[in-house]
Amino acid sequence: QVQLVESGGGSVQPGGSLRLSCMSSIVIYNFNSMGWYRQIPGRQRELVARITRFEEAIYADSVKGRFTISKDNNKDTVYLHMNNLKPDDTATYYCHANQVSDYWGQGTQVTVSS
């Protein structure tokens, strides 16, 4: 019954910016936390950023200072603001939510190249 739908991916040049959005089919304050993960082919899926229902945010060292996670409880949406994008940020980005179980979106592609 839980659906997470991502949007906002695309292709940008190094130094560019994107904003990813993840809309939940249920009210997001029911989740313990929500976050963004990314996966590069041949590598394990890795945490990018996570935010709890109490607004505590955690970031991977590789994106700290460049990415910002936020959420709008009225819109049941979590965002990932990505600034100063680098080629190493190229990946499929997945929205994640945790309640009793784990839920995943279908992913959105981000490509950073010149």
| Tokens encoding 9 | 């991916």
Quick one: average pLDDT of 56-75? 97
- 30 CB contacts (<8 Å, ≥6 apart)? 99
User: Residue 73 — very low, low, confident or very high, per pLDDT cuts 50/70/90?
Assistant: very high
What confidence tens digit (pLDDT) does each residue in 38-65 have?
999 899 999 999 999 999 999 999 999 9
Residue 1 clears pLDDT 90, i.e. is over it? no
**CA dist 39 → 1, 18, 88, 90, 103 (Å):** 25, 17, 11, 9, 16
Residue 22 clears pLDDT 90, i.e. is over it? yes
